[in-house]
Chain A
Amino acid sequence: MPEGHATRAATDDLDALQKRRAESDAADRVLVTKAQQGDRSALGELLQKHGPGLYRSVLLPRLGNEAAAKEALSETYAKVVANIGKFVWQNVGFYPWLRTVALRVALDQLRAKKRLVLFEEDDLAREIDAAETATPVEQQVSDHRDREAARAQVEDALGRINPRYARAIRLRVLEERTRDEVAAELGVTPATFDVLLHRAIASLKKALGERGQAGVASEKDDE
């Protein structure tokens, strides 16, 4: 494709994206206004529209399991219902506000329940802080960024352990390939692979635990 055509196509895509976002925001604004006047169905529509993305891109990756993510989603909705009256439309749409509320709920949950997850309290606190400075983006773009951030967190965690262990986890746990296939790829018997994977997980737990302790130590130093 000639360069001029490619540029025009990119500009058209951007225009279409902006138009779609503007339409979506306009629809959301109407729903927000109705919800603030007490219209439950409007609020329900808003949550139906934005909730699934929020769950999949924000809550589940950060909280690490489905039960915790669903609990956080319920709590987020409860806060939205209670605070929708305080929400002031600021031309960045509804989703950023919803996402900030969800991140705060997730942060509270991480503080309350010490579980082994990839995201730490500090990570979420930084994200909440960043949420306020970020320019408004379409929810899809925001979802994509959140998903990329989660994957980067996984890569970071795997980078802390022996590369062979990291590879075992990547192939079996993340790519969900069969045990025999992965064992063959790593050049070991399936039985040996079981032990290898167990050790890989134990090593990752240890690495994450050390990271957590380092975080606590630096907090104490700051104090």
Chain B
Amino acid sequence: MSDREERRPPRGPSEPEEAAREPERDLARDELDPPPSAEEALASRRLRDALEDPSSAGAGEDLDLVSSLRAAWSPGALDEGVHAEMLDDLPTAEEIALAAELREALDAARPEATPELVAALRSAWNPTPLGADEHRAIVGLALEKAPLEKAAPARQGAVLAFAPRARTMRLAAVSATTVLALAASVVVWLTTAGPRAEAPLARARSTQPLFGEPFKPGETSARIDRIALARASDYRDNRFAKWGVR
């Protein structure tokens, strides 16, 4: 029933009079309740669907209003499962304390107070650069510990200050050269004939041991992949060995 019909004054006319006025009223109703626009029609369909199936999205504010009206008029009971979930969801006193600790640590921005995982996340996500001074100190420390520098060649002036006689000097030089030559030849012999001190390098080898069982026809790629994998592994091992990091 429309508003206009509800507001109609109770005059109580006779049936024939009423029948005669019907077309007039329809005309007037059409004027006051014009047909819905396309937008209104769409919105009304959305509202209809949403009322039939509240889980469907689309009615937006209209459905919110409907829900609040229903909730005020006839509030539904809380589902027991949902309630249990909410109770489970309540933080314990311990959780609240730990959450407060975490908040303080994050607010304080002190590295020593930052939890381990938070520090790990930040380090991976946005690592902070090392300070130049600190880095210089680390480099300095590493170099200090290194027994790296070889003895510098003595300057001529320094040698002359303690120079023995020329003949003795020549004899000493000849002896030293002979000893050095002998030592060098021994070193060459050792390094070429004996096993190397460094990690041994992988040698070229047959691919036969890679295949315990025959490949089926059409598995050529798999066969080549296996060989390539083995070769790559050898290559890496050799590189590690040569670089001295194996």
Residues of A bordering B, CB below 8 Å: 35, 37-40, 43-44, 47-48, 51-52, 55-57, 60-66, 69-70, 73-74, 77-78, 80-84, 86-88, 90, 97, 100-101, 104, 115-119, 129, 132-133, 147, 150-151, 153-154, 157, 169, 172-174, 179, 194-195, 197-199, 201, 204-205, 208
Chain A residue contacts of B125, Cβ below 8 A: 150-151, 154, 174
Are A195 and B127 in contact (CB-based, < 8 A)?
no
Tell me the bound Cα distance from A1 to B14 in angstroms. Answer: 86
CB nearest to B131 among chain A residues: A52
| Cα separation A154 to B123 with both chains bound (whole Å) | 10
Q: Which of A52, A64, A100, A174 contacts B119 (CB 8 A)?
A: A64
Which partner residue on chain B sits nearest A37 by CB separation?
B150
Interface of B (DSSP majority class): helix
- For residue B106, CB closer than 8 A to chain A, the reply is yes
- Residue in A97, A129, A169 whose CB lies within 8 Å of B245: A97
The residues of B that contact A38 with a CB separation of less than 8 Å are 148-150
- Which of B99, B138, B149 contacts A194, CB < 8 Å? B99
Within 8 A of A (CB), among B117-146: 117-130, 132, 134-136, 138-143, 145-146
Which of B's residues lie within 8 Å of A, judged by CB? 91, 95-96, 98-100, 102-103, 106-107, 111, 115-130, 132, 134-136, 138-143, 145-146, 148-150, 198, 232, 235-236, 239-240, 242-245
Q: Given contacts A48-B135, A55-B135, A129-B236, are A150 and B243 in contact (CB under 8 A)?
A: no
Query: Which B residues lie within 8 Å of A172 (CB)?
Result: 106
Give A205 to B198 CA distance when docked, in angstroms: 43
